[in-house]
Amino acid sequence: MRLIHRSGISRLPLGLALLLVLAPPLLAQNQIHVHRQPDGTMLFTDRRVMGPDYAYIRSYGRPTASHSCNGITPAVLARRAEPYTAAVHDFANHYGVDPQLVKAVITVESCFDRFAVSRVGARGLMQLMPGTADELGVRDSFDAVDNIRGGVRYLHRMLQQFDQDVTLALAAYNAGPGAVQRHEGVPPFRETQNYIVRVMDHYQRLADASAAAR
């Protein structure tokens, strides 16, 4: 069970409160541990020991990126994307990146769930790793605008580094530019290769829809 609530234990969701009170045998098998962050946030998780600096964010309440996309319909995806359209276009235009490519990356990375966290700790809409976010000046990866700004800037950097080759830029975005350089092209990683196919598929669909709407 992976739950989070930012207002403290006194305002637990009713279902969890009843579970804690009425179901001790169940909790004996699936124990819930409570951790408190420095800001007072109460974290509920099935992990007894947390990593340094709460490294295991996905263990206590942030939805994983793959979970965010499970069973999502085009209509739901469109509703999720709508609040971020202006920011995507603003930063894409600023950095000279096709906004449809940015949308395709966000779709594959998080399905427009700004709270998504990957199994390796990448965060937010464009799934920025903490070190990358710091280097890009992103203060809060869960802040949608801050995340989009940093993600588009990083994507722009990858496009520049690989001579505007979208395929190599996406490989670098997913696996890191060092991996692309070492392998002198798309790395032989199934995850990266599938990632490129998925992003390019969404990119083509979005580009076609944008052209049809003109």
Q: Which residues are catalytic?
A: 109
- Single-letter code of the amino acid located at 144: A
Instruction: Give the tokens for residue 8.
Output: 């403290």
- Eight-class DSSP state of 8: -
Give 172's contacts (C-beta < 8 A, 6+ positions apart). Answer: 158, 161, 162, 179, 180
- The answer to whether the beta carbons of residues 118 and 111 sit under 8 Å apart is no
The runs of H, that is alpha helices, within 14-165 are 14-22, 24-29, 65-69, 74-81, 85-95, 99-110, 130-135, 144-161
Q: What is the DSSP string of 96-132?
A: T--HHHHHHHHHHHHTT-TT-B-TT--BTTTTB-HHH
Q: What phi, psi does 128 have (nearest 5°)? A: -90, 130
CA distance 40 to 50: 16
From residue 5, how far is each of 69, 110, 121 by CA, in Å? Answer: 22, 21, 20
